Amino acid sequence: MKKTPIAVRIPLVIVLLGVVASVGALAFSYGENRALESLAIRQVSAKSVASAMRNDVFYSSYRENTLLVTGSIATITDQHSRQTIEFATSGHFKSLCHLTSRAPDLRVGERITIVTEAYAALRRPSAVLLNNCLVLTAR
């Protein structure tokens, strides 16, 4: 068996590494664009979020979205130094929101807008639980 000279092997290895790097860069670029094209910020009501979870279309509708949820506060619960807001919704299915930090100036009946990532939401037996919510506005 004849050995390939080193003068041929080194350029061949360099060309192969260049091809692999080029394919990797193209795949990364395509994947990044594909992943980011469906990301969006959506304004929704607390009622529509609860309805979507109740009807099992929450994740198909909102999974890759940042949500701006607007609604009136029905109750505020303090538990383990963390606040949970229940939005006023009609029907038996509720919208709940765990705040990232305490907001002591919130009052029942006040209309607020929170921001949260939809992928972090959890389904509860009678509610959608939005996690890591941040209060943007209170009126």
* 110 and 69, same domain (yes or no): yes
The Cα 48–Cα 121 span in angstroms is 14
Helices marked H in 37-81 — which ranges?
46-54, 58-62
Q: How confident is the model at residue 74 (pLDDT cuts 50, 70, 90)?
A: very high
* 23 and 69, same domain (yes or no): no
Task: Give 12 or 7, the one with higher predicted confidence.
Answer: 12
Mean pLDDT across 102-121:
90
**pLDDT score of 35:** 64
Strand pairing report for 127-138 and 94-99: parallel
Please tell me the least confidently modeled range out of 38-42, 59-63, 65-69, 122-126.
Answer: 38-42
* 48 and 106, same domain (yes or no): yes
How many domains does the chain divide into?
2
Mean pLDDT across 83-107:
89
* 81 and 106, same domain (yes or no): yes
Domain of 14, in residue numbers: 1-37
Strand pairing report for 111-117 and 127-138: antiparallel
Buried b (16+ CB within 10 A) or exposed e, 35-69: eeeeeeeeebebbbbbbbbbeeebeeebeebebeb
